[in-house]
Structure 1
Amino acid sequence: MMISCVVLLIAPTGAGDDDGGKKLIIGLPYYKSGFAQFVDVQIDPTNNNNQVVQASGYSIAVFNATIAYLTRLHHGISFEFRAFVNNNGSSAGYYDALVSQISAEKYDAVVGDVTILENRFNHADFTLPYTQSNVKMLVKIRHDPRLNMWILYDRLIGEKIQWGFLLWLPVVQAVFPERESLAKNCSRFVLVMWLILWLIVRDLLVDNLMINSSRVKNYSSIKDYKEALDKGSHNGGVDAIFDEAPYFKAFLKQYGSNYAVVSTKHHAAGFGFAFRKGSNLTSHFSKAILNIRESNEMDGIEERYFGSSDDDGNKDQSNSSSNASPQSYCL
C-alpha cells in the first residue's frame, strides 16, 4: 500500500494532539537491505529534512488503518514521515536509536516494526501492540526422495538424533498398538521424531546457545536468513534462526516450501507505535489498534503481506520449546 508522505485530516479540534493540532513529524526506520515487507520508504533527494515521498509495507498499512479509524471519529491529525537517515543517505541507527529521537524532540512519534521493550519506555510511550509477536525458530528442511519424507536439517542435533533412533521402537510400540500400526516405517519415524523433538531442542539450546555465544550471528534481511540457512553451519552459515514471528511470516511467504518454523516458550510484547511521553495520542491510537484487530480489517492486511494464516500454520511446528533468550539471533 503506497501513501503520500503527508496526510492532512481536517476535523474539529480536540483530536488529542498535545501540541495543539500541529503537524506531527513521524520517524520511520530506513534499511535498504532490511525487511521491506514491514516498512519500505523512498526519500526525496532534494529535501534536506529526509522527507519521505512514499511509504509502504505492513506497518504502514496498519498505521494508515488507524488514521482512517480516527478520522471516522472526527479526529484531525496532520503528519509527515521522515526517514531516520544520516547526511549520506544511509540509516542513522537501529531501533533503540530511532526511538530515542522522540525524547530528543526530533520526532513526535515513530512508526514501524518497533518491538515494545522496557528500556524504550525511557524515551517514549507505546500504544497497545498491533501484532502478537512470539519468538520462534526457523530451520532448513530437506527432502529425501529415498524416504519420501521431510527432514529437519540441523547439524547441531545430529548426535542427539542417534538417541532418537534408540528410543524409536519402544515409543512406536507404546503409541501405536499393532492393530493401528502405520503402513510405512518412515511415517512412524516422522511422528515419533516430533514427539521427542521438544527434548532435543531444549538440550540443544542449553548446551550450545546459552553457553557458546561465539556461535551467534546477526542477520538483517530475508535474503540473509535464506543464504545463512542454505549454507548451514558447516559452510559459514547457521542451522537455526530465532526471531519474532512476524518476520518469519514474511520469510515463509517468499521461501516457505523448504523451511519450517518451530514455536518456543518465549513471548515478545509485539510491535507498537511510539509517541512522546504523556501524549494523549497514545491512547487514541491504542483504541484504533483494538478496533482494527477486532475486525476483519487486520486479517486482510496480514493476508495481503504474509499470506493466509492457514498457509503459515502448516509450517509452524508448535510442539517445541526452548530456553532461549527472547532476542533476535542465529546459530
Structure 2
Amino acid sequence: MVQGYCIDVFLAAIKLLPYAVPYKFILFGDGHKNPNYAELVNMITSNVFDAAVGDIAIVTNRTKIVDFTQPYAESGLVIVAPVKKLRSNAWAFLRPFTPLMWGVTAAFFLTVGVVVWILEHRINDEFRGPPKKQIITILWFSFSTMFFSHRENTVSTLGRLVLIIWLFVVLIINSSYTASLTSILTVQQLSSPVKGIDSLITSNEPIGYQIGSFAENYLIEELNVAKSRLIALGSPEAYRTALEKGTVAAVVDERPYVEIFLSDYCRFQIVGQEFTKSGWGFAFPRDSPLAIDMSTAILTLSENGDLQKIHDKWLNKRGCGSQSSQNQSDQLQLQSFWGLFLICGIACLLALIIYLCLMLRQFSQHYTDSSEPSRHGSSRSARLQKFLSFADEREEIWKSESKRKRMEMLSRANERELESMDGSKRVADICHEKYNVDT
C-alpha cells in the first residue's frame, strides 16, 4: 500500500480531472537508501515511467527535459546547525550594542561635549575656568546628557540647537538599548558559529547534504563549494549523529525535511535565511496534457483549502518544531543608527562653521581697530596667537574694550576738530590785525 503526503496530493488532484486516468504506482529505489531524483526524472525521458510522483524539486536542469505541474509545496534550501544557549554573565549589559556601535556612541558623546564647550566658552561662565576644570566640565556635560541630567545651561543659540538634536539621538539610543537588553535577559538566546550560507562557505568546514537531493549540484555548481567538503547523509539519524560528533559543521537541505527533523531534535536550529526558492511538483513527459490539467487541479485544491489540510495531516510540526527557525543576533548594529549620527554630525559641523565665521569677523574688526600701521606686517603665528587669545576672552570684555576704543577714537576726532577750529580762528585774527579787514 503506497501512501504519504505526495501520494495524497496526487490522488486528490487526479479526482478533479474531467476525465478518468488509470494509474499504477511503481516504487522507485530499494527502500533502504535515498533514491537519486535526477535519475528518476531521466527515466521519464527514456519511457521507463509515464510520470514521477514524489517530493521532486523543480529546478532548472530538470525543467529542460520534462514538464512539471504547478508546485504543490513550497521549498528551498536552508542550513541547520547545532546551537547552544547563551547564559547571562557579568558583562551581559554590553551585549545590546556591537563594539563598533559602543565606540561610535562614546566618540559622539565626547564630540558633542567639545562642540558645546566651544560654542559656550566665551559667553557662559559655567564653561570657563582653569584648564583642568574645563576638561572635567566637558566630560561631565558629555556623559550626563545620557541621563538628561546635565546641570550646565546653554546660552548661545547654536549651542542649544546642537544640544536639542543630540538629546533626540540620545533618547533613541537609550530606548533601543533598553528594549534590546530586556529581550536578551528575558528571552532564551541561542548561538551558533554558523550565521548563514556566506559564513558556511568561507569557513572551509565540512557540509552535510541529503543523498539524492539537488543540494549537492547546487553547492558545487552555483556556490563553488569544493566537492571534498560535502558529506552525503541518508537519514535524520545520520543528520543528528554527524552534527553532534562534529563530522559536519552544518547540513544543507530543503526546508520541509529540515522542519520535520527539527520537530524531533530541538538542540539544532535553522540559521540564516533560506537561500533558494523552489517547490515540489509532479513530473510528466514533454508536452503532456496531464501536466497542465494536473496544475489546474492543484490550484483548485489550494483555493478550496484541501491542499493545506493534506499538508497539516502529514507535515504538521510538533514538539519543539514551533520554535523560531532563524538565529538572528540581538545586537544592535551601527547601520541602524548611522542616519541619526549623520544628522548630529552635520549639525555640529554647521554650528562650528557659523561660529568660526562670526569669530573671524569679530576678530578682523577688533584687529583692524587695535592695530597700528607698524604692526600690519606681523607674522601668521603671531596673528594666530592673537586669535586664540581673542577666542579665549569673554565676549563681554571684547565688547567693552571695543566700546572703549570707539569712544577714544571719537574723542580724538573731536579734539582734532576743535584744534582745527582754533587754528582757523587764529589765522582769521592775524589777517584782521595785519590788513585791518572787518571779518
TM over 0.5: yes
SS of the residue corresponding to residue 288 of structure 1 reads helix
Match of 1:25 in 2: none
> Which residues in structure 2 correspond to 1:1-331 (within 5 Å)?
54-70=1-17, 74-85=18-29, 93-143=35-85, 147=88, 166-167=99-100, 177=174, 181=178, 187=184, 202-208=198-204, 210=224, 213-232=227-246, 237-255=247-265, 257-264=266-273, 266-307=275-316, 314-317=323-326
Confirm or deny: 8 A CA contact 1:275 1:282 kept in the other structure. Answer: yes
Confirm or deny: 8 A CA contact 2:194 2:200 kept in the other structure. Answer: no
Determine which structure has the larger strand proportion and give its number.
Answer: 1
Higher relative contact order, structure no. (Cα contacts within 8 Å, ≥ 6 residues apart): 2
Confirm or deny: 8 A CA contact 2:33 2:234 kept in the other structure. Answer: no
SS of the residue corresponding to residue 69 of structure 1 reads coil
- Cα 1:231–1:190 shift into 2, 3 Å: farther
Question: TM-score, with normalisation over the residues of structure 2?
Answer: 0.46
Deviation at 1:273, TM superposition (A): 0.3
Tell me the distance in 2 between the aligned counterparts of 1:176 and 1:201. 31
Determine which structure has the larger helix proportion and give its number.
Answer: 2
Q: Tell me the amino acid that sits aligned with residue 287 of structure 2.
A: G
Tell me the distance in 2 between the aligned counterparts of 1:84 and 1:197. 36
- Cα 1:127–1:147 shift into 2, 3 Å: same
Q: Which stretches in structure 2 are left out of the alignment for 5+ residues?
A: 90-96, 107-169, 206-223, 330-439
Tell me the distance in 2 between the aligned counterparts of 1:124 and 1:183. 51
SS of the residue corresponding to residue 260 of structure 1 reads strand
> CA RMSD of the aligned region, Å?
4.1
Tell me the distance in 2 between the aligned counterparts of 1:266 and 1:275. 27
Deviation at 1:239, TM superposition (A): 2.0
Confirm or deny: 8 A CA contact 1:114 1:271 kept in the other structure. Answer: yes
Tell me the distance in 2 between the aligned counterparts of 1:90 and 1:139. 25
SS of the residue corresponding to residue 289 of structure 1 reads helix
Tell me the distance in 2 between the aligned counterparts of 1:92 and 1:179. 49
Tell me the distance in 2 between the aligned counterparts of 1:284 and 1:246. 26
Tell me the distance in 1 between the aligned counterparts of 2:43 and 2:204. 37
Question: TM-score, with normalisation over the residues of structure 1?
Answer: 0.59
Q: Tell me the amino acid that sits aligned with residue 20 of structure 2.
A: G
Tell me the distance in 2 between the aligned counterparts of 1:302 and 1:278. 29
Deviation at 1:283, TM superposition (A): 0.4
- Cα 1:311–1:254 shift into 2, 3 Å: closer
Confirm or deny: 8 A CA contact 1:129 1:272 kept in the other structure. Answer: yes
Deviation at 1:123, TM superposition (A): 3.6
Tell me the distance in 1 between the aligned counterparts of 2:204 and 2:180. 37
Confirm or deny: 8 A CA contact 1:172 1:188 kept in the other structure. Answer: no
SS of the residue corresponding to residue 317 of structure 1 reads coil
Q: Deviations over 1:37-80 (max 9, x none)?
A: xxxxxxxxxxxxxxxxx11222112112212333xxx4211110
- Cα 1:172–1:62 shift into 2, 3 Å: farther
Tell me the distance in 1 between the aligned counterparts of 2:286 and 2:244. 44
Confirm or deny: 8 A CA contact 2:264 2:321 kept in the other structure. Answer: no
% identity of equivalent residues: 29
- Cα 1:184–1:319 shift into 2, 3 Å: closer
Match of 2:370 in 1: none
Deviation at 1:147, TM superposition (A): 3.8
Q: Which stretches in structure 1 are left out of the alignment for 5+ residues?
A: 1-53, 149-163, 321-331
Confirm or deny: 8 A CA contact 2:79 2:197 kept in the other structure. Answer: no
| Structure 1 residue ranges, 4+ long, deviating more than 4 angstroms after superposition | 89-93, 164-176, 182-186, 188-194, 209-213, 308-313
Deviation at 1:206, TM superposition (A): 3.2
Q: Deviations over 1:95-118 (max 9, x none)?
A: 111111111111110001111122
Deviation at 1:292, TM superposition (A): 1.7
